[in-house]
Amino acid sequence: MTSAPPAAAPPVLALDGLTRRYGTLTAVDGVSLRLGPGARHAVIGPNGAGKTTLLNLIAGTDRPDRGAIALDGVDITRRGTAARSRLGIARSFQQPSVVTELSVLDNVVLAGWTHGPRHRGAWRRPSLHRSRQETAVRHLEAVGLADLAHRPAGALSHGQRRMLDLAAALAGDPPLLLLDEPAAGLTDADIDRLLGIVGGLPPAVAVILVEHHVEVVAHLATDTTVLASGQVVATGPTREVLARPEVRAAYHGSASAAVPGASGRSDGPGAGHVPTVCPSPTDARG
Ligand code: ATP
């Protein structure tokens, strides 16, 4: 007698026919997507394509009109933002969401408490508080902010706040991290640091990256989905998707434009000859 093969693990994130309308405008139109553990998945597309709306639907700050969202096989379509956060969806924002009055360290400690499974009453246990602080310091070291741990977060530069926002997002060891234009407004040095941080994330963390910098996408993402008018127009391995004539044409109006990856990099998951992307208005590097 042969035993049945083990059931395949559910994807970390499954989107099925996700749709969001604003009046007559369909911002996200029937998007389906599967992400496995450790996925590095970019979502690109022109301004207004629906990328941020898609992240909002996944994070729970917006609700779909149709479709379903499952995290680790659990339907979370009707769960609120806080519940999704507790279940392990973390997000880093275009505008960093740091508490300016708190120290840099306390921002990360607080984020870890909020997301952590044992956060209830943790403030009453000094040993747990200490271990939270040690963990927070490690996250700050990873983003290069450990030296500023005791400074007020309000004293940080924009680039430093983005790094702090990322450290806070990572504080709860989330299985799914949503990065909303992490490179926007960063200097070249900060982008290099960002590539190192995201590239060095634990393999178990699945990442969805919305980004206008195609070099960053090429460096970080193994897979890429292209949205246009809310619909998926291409999806698959980053290198293949970025090389498609219709994707190149969508960004350049020409199928012939091609530039090397960021800073001449050739070591990222999707690195190679890729089209540049129309920069967003907030893009400091474009
Ligand atoms: P960008 O790259 O410029 O950030 P995007 O791809 O993230 O664009 P979204 O911000 O998701 O695009 O917007 C998709 C469409 O939905 C746009 O036409 C936008 O104007 C519209 N939209 C987004 N949010 C709302 C809202 N709350 N009410 C009405 N329309 C909205």
In this structure, the residue with its CA closest to atom 26 of ligand 1 is 22
- 25 alpha carbon – ligand 1 mean position (Å): 10
| Nearest residue to 90 (alpha-carbon basis) of 13, 27, 144 | 13
Q: What is the mean pLDDT of residues 190-198?
A: 88
Buried b (16+ CB within 10 A) or exposed e, 228-260: bebebbbbeebbebbbbeebbebbeeeeeeeee
What residue ranges do the domains of the chain occupy? 9-88+174-286, 103-171
Give one word for 255, left, alpha or beta, with left for phi > 0 and alpha for psi -120 to 50. alpha
* Average per-residue pLDDT for the chain: 82
* Residue range 9-88+174-286 in CATH 3.40.50.2020: no
What burial class does residue 212 get, using C-beta atoms within 10 Å of its C-beta: 0-12 exposed, 13-18 middle, 19+ buried? Answer: buried
DSSP state of 231: E
- 100 alpha carbon – ligand 1 mean position (Å): 28
pLDDT in tens, 233-281: 999 999 999 999 877 776 654 333 333 333 334 445 544 433 444 434 3
Atom number in ligand 1 closest to CA 45: 6
Q: What is the mean pLDDT of residues 62-91?
A: 94
- State the DSSP string of 103-141: BHHHHHHHHHHHHSTT-TTGGG-HHHHHHHHHHHHHHHH
- 94 alpha carbon – ligand 1 mean position (Å): 14
Q: Is the CB of 56 under 6 A from ligand 1?
A: no
pLDDT in tens, 34-47: 999 889 999 999 88
Distance separating alpha carbons of residues 261 and 270, to the nearest angstrom: 9
Residue 16 reports pLDDT greater than 60: yes
SS3 call for 83:
helix
- 48 alpha carbon – ligand 1 mean position (Å): 5
Residue 217 reports pLDDT greater than 50: yes
Give pLDDT, residue 117.
53
Among all chains, which residue has been given the structure tokens 């609120």?
80
